[in-house]
Amino acid sequence: MPALYAPRYDADGALLAVEPTAADLPATIAKQTWRGNTLSHSTVITPEAAWPSIHMVEVARSCPELCRFCLASYLTLPFRTASLDNGLIPAVETGLAVTQRLGLLGASVTQHPQFADLLTWLDQDRFEGTRVSVSSVRAATVTPQLGRILARRGSKSLTIAIESGSERMRRVVNKKLSGEEIFAAARYAREGGLSGLKLYGMAGLPSEEEADIEATADLLLALKKATPGLRLSLGVSTFVPKAHTPFQWEGVRPEAEKRLQRLARRLQPKGIELRPESYGWSVIQALLSRSDRRLAPVIAAARGQHDSQGGWKKAYRAVRAGEVAAPADLPVPLPAPPPWEEVVHATWGEERVLPWAHLEGPLPAATLLRHRQEALAGDSSADPPAAPSPPH
Ligand code: SF4
C-alpha cells in the first residue's frame, strides 16, 4: 500500500530510501505466490472477447529459463505446471463442450513435463475440427510431433523467440538456444505441415554491437534458404529494462532505432516480413518501467494526450519545469522527477536505491546483480539451465 511507505530524497533528488510510515510496518514486503498445481482457464467464452470464442487454458506459469531481461520469468518464479489429469484435461473438456477453439497459454508451455502427452490426447479423432493454438514456444522444444498436431488442429504457424541471431548475444541474455536448434525448429514446423514461422527478437540489448544485428539478419536469410516454402516473419522490439530482472540497471539504447531500420533494409527486400515495435513507444514503456512515484504528476498531466509520444514528453517537461502543479491529494509532497535521460537511457550504478527496493521479488537483489555481472562478462552460459520443477 503506497501510502504506508514514504520515499526519502536527497537535495539533488536522488532516492535515499523508501521507508514504512509507522514503526509496526515491515521494512520490506515479500511478493505472495500461489504455489498449487491448478492454474487458470477461461470462465466466459464469447465472440466479444479480445480473443473471440477461444477457451484459454493456462498450462504453465513462470518460466525456468531466466533470460536476463525477462519479467515473465524473474517476477513470477517458481515455474509451476498444471496437473494433466486433475487440471488441464478437465479444463480443456469443459471448454470444448462450448467452443471448438482452444488456446494453450503460458510463457513456456512446451516445457510442461507432460506436454507431449497433452498433444497426443488432443490428437484423438474426437477433436476433429478443433482449432488449437499455442503461445510462443521455446525453439529447443519444437518437435516434429508438435508441428504435425498443430497443423492438423488448424494452426498455420508457430512462434519462437530467438532474441538475437548472434550466439554471443544469446549467451549474454542466457538464452540457451543454439543455431542448430533454431534451424531444426524451422524444419520441423515445415515438415509438420505448418506454413509459417514467426520469430521474435530484440534490438538494443545490453552490450549489443552492430555485428550482432547483422548476425540476426544473416540467420533469417539462412533460414529462408534452408526451409524454402516456409513463410518467415521477424517481430523485433527494443530492449526495455524491467524491475526485478538482472537488466533493471540497463537503459534503453538509442542505437536500437537505427538497428531496427537496418534489419528492415536487409530483410524486407528478401521477402521476410519484419514487424518492428515502435522505438518511440519503447522509450515511453521504459519511462513507466523505471520511474518512481514522481511520475504520478506526469501521468496526471499526460491525460488527454497519452496516445502520443510527444504528449508524454511534453507532460514530463512541464512537470519538471514546475509549470504543472502536482495533484493536491498526494500523500507526501514530491520533488521534480529526474532528467528524462537518467530515467530512460542511463545505466544505473549498482549502489543506486531502486524505487522498488522495498518490494521483494522471488530472487534476492544480490542474485539479480550476480546474473547481471555474469551476463555482461559474457559467461551466462556457465550457469546450468534452471531445472523445471518436478510435476506435482
Ligand atoms: S524462455 Fe521466454 S519466457 Fe522463458 S525466460 Fe526466456 S524469454 Fe522469458
pTM, to two decimals: 0.91
Question: Cβ(67) to ligand 1 under 6 A?
Answer: yes
Alpha-carbon separation of residue 314 from 319, 323, 326 (angstroms): 9, 11, 15
73 alpha carbon – ligand 1 mean position (Å): 6
331: confidence class by pLDDT, cuts 50, 70, 90: low
pLDDT bin (cut points 50, 70, 90) of residue 380 is low
Q: How far apart are CA 52 and CA 133, in angstroms?
A: 13
332 or 179, higher pLDDT: 179
Measured in Å, residue 159 CA sits from the centre of ligand 1 at 13
Distance 108 CA to ligand 1 centre (A): 7
Rg (Cα) of the chain, in Å, rounded? 23
* Cβ of residue 380 lying under 6 Å from some atom of ligand 1: no
Q: Is the CB of 81 under 6 A from ligand 1?
A: no
Residue nearest to atom 1 of ligand 1 (CA): 65
Average pLDDT over residues 157-165: 95
Examine the pLDDT at 388 and tell me if it is beyond 60: no
- Listed in sequence order, the DSSP H helices in the chain are 71-74, 89-96, 115-122, 144-152, 167-172, 179-192, 210-226, 255-267, 279-290, 296-302, 309-320, 340-344, 365-376
The yes-or-no verdict on residue 104 having pLDDT over 70 is: yes
CA of 294 from ligand 1 middle (Å) equals 31
The verdict on the CB of residue 63 being under 6 Å from ligand 1 is yes
pLDDT score, position 308: 96
* Residue 134 CB–ligand 1 contact under 6 Å: no
| Ligand 1 close to Cβ of residue 73 (< 6 A) | yes
Nearest residue to 67 (alpha-carbon basis) of 175, 199, 203: 175
pLDDT interval class at 136 (50, 70, 90)? confident
Name the closest-CA residue to atom 6, ligand 1: 67
Q: Which of 91, 165, 103, 170 is nearest to 131 (CA)?
A: 103
Confidence band of 113 (pLDDT split at 50, 70, 90): very high
Question: How do residues 241-289 score in pLDDT, each as one tens digit?
Answer: 999 999 999 999 999 999 999 999 999 999 999 999 999 999 999 999 9
Residue matched to cell numbers 502520443: 308
pLDDT digit string (tens) for 284-321? Answer: 999 999 999 999 999 999 999 999 999 999 999 999 99
* Least confident range of 71-85, 320-334, 346-360: 320-334
Q: Are 362 and 77 in contact (CB under 8 A)?
A: yes
**All domains of the chain, ordered by start, with CATH?**
1-30+292-336 (no CATH), 34-291+360-382 (3.80.30.20)
Taking 80 as the threshold, does the pLDDT of residue 333 lie above it?
A: no
| Ligand 1 neighbourhood includes 70 CB (under 6 angstroms) | yes
Q: What letter represents residue 6's amino acid?
A: A
Give the closest residue (by CA) to ligand 1 atom 3.
Answer: 107
Average pLDDT, the chain: 92
pLDDT at residue 339 in the model: 96
Of ligand 1's listed atoms, the one at least distance from the Cα of 108 is 3
- The residue whose C-alpha atom lies closest to atom 8 belonging to ligand 1 is 70
Cβ(176) to ligand 1 under 6 A?
Answer: no
- pLDDT per residue as tens digits for the range 35-60: 887 789 999 999 999 889 999 999 99
Q: How far is the CA of 107 from the centre of ligand 1 (A)?
A: 7
Evaluated on CA atoms 218, 221, 226, 230, the torsion sign reads: positive
Q: Is the pLDDT of residue 111 over 70?
A: yes
Helix (H, G, I), strand (E, B) or coil at 144: helix
Residue 185 near ligand 1, beta carbon < 6 Å? no
Closest-CA residue to 135 (of 154, 118, 160): 160
- 70 CA to centre of ligand 1 in angstroms: 6
C-alpha 136 – ligand 1 centre gap (Å):
10
Report, as an integer, the average pLDDT of 100-106. Answer: 94
CA of 66 to the centre of ligand 1 (A): 6
Q: Which atom of ligand 1 is nearest to the CA of 174?
A: 6
Burial label, 158 (beta-carbon count in 10 A; 0-12, 13-18, 19+): buried
| Span of 15-29, 145-159, 307-321 with lowest mean pLDDT | 145-159
Which mutation among 59, 68, 69, 73 tests ligand 1's pocket best, with the greatest number of atoms within 8 A of CB?
Answer: 73
